[in-house]
Amino acid sequence: MGKVAFVFPGQGAQYPGMGRSLCEVSPAAAGVFRMADSLRPGTSSQCFSGTEEELKETKITQPCIWAVEMAAAAALNEAGIQADMTAGFSLGELSALSYAGVVDASTCFELVCERGRLMQDAAVAVETSMAAVVKLSHETVEEICTRFEGVYPVNYNCPGQVTVAGLKSSMADFSAAVKEAKGRALPLKVSGGFHSPFMAEASAAFGKLLEPVVFKTPAIPLYSNLTGLPYEGDMKHLLEKQICSPVRWEAIIRQMIAAGVDTFIEVGPGSVLQGLIGKIDKHVRVFGVSDAESLAKTIQEVKAC
């Protein structure tokens, strides 16, 4: 077997009840939730019992997803499965940061809580939304965006899929132009225009919060959304600018495969990243851990290799 990568999803992957069964089967996972509840009371109850509408609120979404992701990673490590390298999509990059040992879990969780608050404040300041554009090339999507006020390509997910963020007032006409070009624009379950210039104030404020935090060298290769490459140089700059810059997900996965990864494990709720990775390279193996059932299946499959 080649190398194993843990990849952590971002907003939009949340669902009511997430994380509950992991805690029932893994003491390590339960420990993550105890830590989260000690710093932000109610985190576990929001994950386990919160409504879909509640979990869509960015200041709630981000700490809740982070807790589930780190719980799933802890459960995998507890079972003897560890990553050779790691990356995360948007919010997931904070989980990857913690997993790679750049900051300790409690410090990272506090940063996630602040990031969620700042991004929610930015999201409500302007009426924006996001959509995944499929069946068109990256270049075609970029060109269509230039025709509309305040519409930007923000996530380069896989061949034939780019997420855009834009003013709500522009998105209906943008979607019509996408349809005319033989593509489809699929609305996303998020509350703002993330990874775009609409997040500039949140990005700058988060950068200020990062200034006193001590960052360690990653224990394993950690990939940046901003560059699509392993972290190097000013790590805080990479994390700050990630908030208002496109996510280079396709580039990250291709870099990981070139570095020897043949097994990807999506660590946390949902299966979006599994689907994207399969479209980037159908020859790699892709698993997911979001609950007790998928944890057991992944452990069995990976250890059998």
Amino acid at 257: I
pLDDT for the residue 192 = 86
**Active-site annotation, residues:** 90, 195
48 vs 31: CA distance, rounded Å: 15
46 vs 59: CA distance, rounded Å: 12
User: Torsion angle of alpha carbons 233, 239, 244, 247, nearest 10°?
Assistant: 80
* 53 token code pair: 């509408």
Which residue from 78, 103, 100 is spatially nearest to 87, judged by alpha carbons?
Answer: 100
150 vs 22: CA distance, rounded Å: 41
pLDDT for 180-200, tens place per residue? 999 999 998 777 899 999 999
Amino acid at 89: F
pTM over 0.85: yes
pLDDT for the residue 304 = 83
Amino acid at 244: C
pLDDT for the residue 261 = 98
What domains can you pick out in the chain, each with its CATH number? 3-124+196-303 (3.40.366.10), 125-187 (3.30.70.250)
pLDDT for 226-270, tens place per residue? 999 999 999 999 999 999 999 999 999 999 999 999 999 999 999
Q: Are strands 184-187 and 261-267 parallel, antiparallel or unpaired?
A: unpaired
pLDDT for the residue 188 = 86
pLDDT for the residue 305 = 74
Q: Length of the chain in residues, anyone?
A: 305
Indicate if the alpha-carbon torsion angle 2, 102, 90, 245 is positive or negative: negative
Three state DSSP letters for the chain: CCEEEEEECCCCCCCCCCCHHHHHHCHHHHHHHHHHHHHCCCHHHHHHHCCHHHHCCHHHHHHHHHHHHHHHHHHHHHCCCCCCEEEECCCHHHHHHHHCCCCCHHHHHHHHHHHHHHHHHHHHHCCEEEEEEECCCHHHHHHHHCCCCCEEEEEEEECCEEEEEEEHHHHHHHHHHHHHCCCEEEECCCCCCCCCHHHHHHHHHHHHHHCCCCCCCCCCCEECCCCCCECCCCHHHHHHHHCCCCECHHHHHHHHHHCCEEEEEEECCCCHHHHHHHHHCCCCEEEEECCHHHHHHHHHHHHCC
Residue where the block lists tokens 């608050």? 117
Burial class (CB in 10 A: 0-12, 13-18, 19+), 146: exposed
206 vs 137: CA distance, rounded Å: 33
Average pLDDT for runs of 10 along the chain of length 305: 93 93 97 98 97 92 97 97 98 98 97 96 92 96 96 96 96 96 91 92 97 96 98 95 97 98 97 96 97 97 86
